[in-house]
């Protein structure tokens, strides 16, 4: 607990230091920096080996940028990326996901990406309203949600809101969902990259969060580096407290929990709590995978997810 408090203090101090960087462009303090990042984003997006379209949706909280693929008649499958990774990170997974499902990948509005918030902070309730406005815009029903890391926490939070018509959820190494961060030392490499972005800190970050860092595509590595170098996003750990046993018990929908066997955020306690309190849950360990399990082992991860989504329940 003491180490966890220390981590929070470090992040909180960083947030305070970065606050005065917010200027006319909010996430990026110049159009040149934003252009460099967006060019890198578009380069990573070329890795999506399926036809897709990009749509901007106006909400009360700003513009939601949505990448869409898959059959129009398919059930909606909404993807929630990890911190600062943007929706481009799903390139190893979208081909399998979009064979039967209508996939919507939404950039988080308070980070580097193509969504644009009209305010510098969003409460958890406002964040839920932001996504629900997107769901309403596309007239989604029976929504399936997949979230990784911070996205896993968001997916769980949305599923607990009665206003969201969620059918199933998939949690990929969810952060702060069932407990606090497991390996504080290695997780701090993410804070270090955010505070002191460089080639070396980027390498240390991927070495910590991926079990197979050499397999991480160089285009995505460059995009994430630029997000930290030029972006002024704000980590949401201070908004993300683990869910109570009462909240987890109230999740009556089917839930799939996947964690890599080398994950630095979750450990065996995650499975114990999830199985104890969530009534309808399936769990699996992805072999030879770290926190970036969807990139470390996309084939096995995709297979388990698609089988879960296709299962009649």
- C-beta separation of 243 from 277 below 8 A: no
3-state secondary structure of 291: coil
Q: What is the pLDDT of residue 190?
A: 62
- Residues (pLDDT < 70) of the chain are 1-26, 163, 182-192, 234-238
3-state secondary structure of 147: strand
Q: How many structural domains comprise the chain?
A: 1
Q: What is the pLDDT of residue 107?
A: 98
Domain boundaries, position 171: 2-310
Q: What is the pLDDT of residue 72?
A: 97
The angle, 0 to 180 degrees and rounded to 10, between the axes of the packed helices 199-209 and 218-230 is 120
Instruction: Specify the residue for token string 């949305």.
Output: 158
Q: What is the pLDDT of residue 194?
A: 74
Q: What is the pLDDT of residue 9?
A: 38
Q: How many CA atoms lie within 13 A of 13 on its CB side?
A: 9
Q: Report strand pairing: 281-286 vs 143-148.
A: unpaired
Instruction: Specify the residue for token string 């110049």.
Output: 30
6 DSSP β-pair partners: none
At 271, which CATH number?
Answer: 3.40.50.1820
Burial profile 73-94: b = 16 or more Cβ within 10 angstroms, e = fewer: ebbbbbbbbbbbbbbbbbbbbb
Q: What is the pTM of this model?
A: 0.92
Residue 175 to residue 154: CA distance in whole angstroms: 9
């Amino acid at each position: 607990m003491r180490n966890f408090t220390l981590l929070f203090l470090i992040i909180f101090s960083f947030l305070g230091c970065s606050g005065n960087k917010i200027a006319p462009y909010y996430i990026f303090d110049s159009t040149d920096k934003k252009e460099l990042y967006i060019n890198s984003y578009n380069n990573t997006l070329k890795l999506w080996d399926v036809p897709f379209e990009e749509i901007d949706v106006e909400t009360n909280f700003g513009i939601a940028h949505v990448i869409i693929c898959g059959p129009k008649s398919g059930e909606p499958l909404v993807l929630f990326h990890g911190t600062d990774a943007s929706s481009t990170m799903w390139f190893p997974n979208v081909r399998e996901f979009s064979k039967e499902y209508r996939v919507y990948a939404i950039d988080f509005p308070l980070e580097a990406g193509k969504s644009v918030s009209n305010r510098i902070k969003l409460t958890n309730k406002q964040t839920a309203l932001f996504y629900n406005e997107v769901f309403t815009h596309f007239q989604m029903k029976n929504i399936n949600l997949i979230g990784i890391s911070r996205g896993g926490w968001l997916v769980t939070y949305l599923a607990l809101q009665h206003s969201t018509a969620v059918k199933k959820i998939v949690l990929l190494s969810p952060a702060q969902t069932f407990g606090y961060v497991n390996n504080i030392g290695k997780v701090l490499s993410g804070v270090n990259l955010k505070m002191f972005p460089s080639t070396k800190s980027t390498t240390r970050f991927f070495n910590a969060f991926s079990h197979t860092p050499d397999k991480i595509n160089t285009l995505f590595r460059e995009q994430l580096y630029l997000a930290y170098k030029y972006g002024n996003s704000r980590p949401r750990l201070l908004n993300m407290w683990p869910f109570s046993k009462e909240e987890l018990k109230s999740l009556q929908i089917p839930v799939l929990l996947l964690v890599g066997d080398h994950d630095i955020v979750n450990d065996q306690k995650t499975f114990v709590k999830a199985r104890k309190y969530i009534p309808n849950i399936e769990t699996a360990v992805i072999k030879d995978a770290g926190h970036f399990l969807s990139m470390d082992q996309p084939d096995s991860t995709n297979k388990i997810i698609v089988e879960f989504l296709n299962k009649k329940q």
